Amino acid sequence: MNTANLQLKGLIMAMASLCDAIAEKELLTRGEIGAALSKAQKAIEEDDDHELSGANQAAILFPIRVLQLAGEAGRKEGATFSDYARLVGKLG
């Protein structure tokens, strides 16, 4: 596997843990974190400056969707990157 992909996996899971810690410390609610992620998703979907293929746009949105799922699941103990990736794939 490409080293960059491994680094991105680590970064995404680290961000999921940070989002969980932020919610647990009540700095932001899970809803507020979800809203921020939705705002990022919307900005990417509405970006007309870059003509991206559907596959490229999906690739850009993938980490956001993983973080959204992790937040909705309340960062289930033992959930892996593969678990979240499988869920994102099912959502389309």
Name the average pLDDT for the chain: 85
Whole-prediction pTM: 0.79
pLDDT for the residue numbered 92: 62
Cα–Cα–Cα angle for 73, 77, 79, nearest 5°?
70
Q: What DSSP letter does each residue of 16-28 carry, written as one string?
A: HHHHHHHHHTTSS
Q: Is the pLDDT of residue 74 over 70?
A: no
Domain count, the chain: 1
Q: Phi and psi for 38 in degrees, rounded to 5?
A: -65, -35
- For residues 62 and 55, what is the distance between their CA atoms, to the nearest angstrom? 10
Q: Residue 68 sits in which domain range? A: 3-91
Nearest to 20 by CA among 74, 81, 77: 74
pLDDT for the residue numbered 72: 77
Q: Is the pLDDT of residue 53 over 90?
A: no
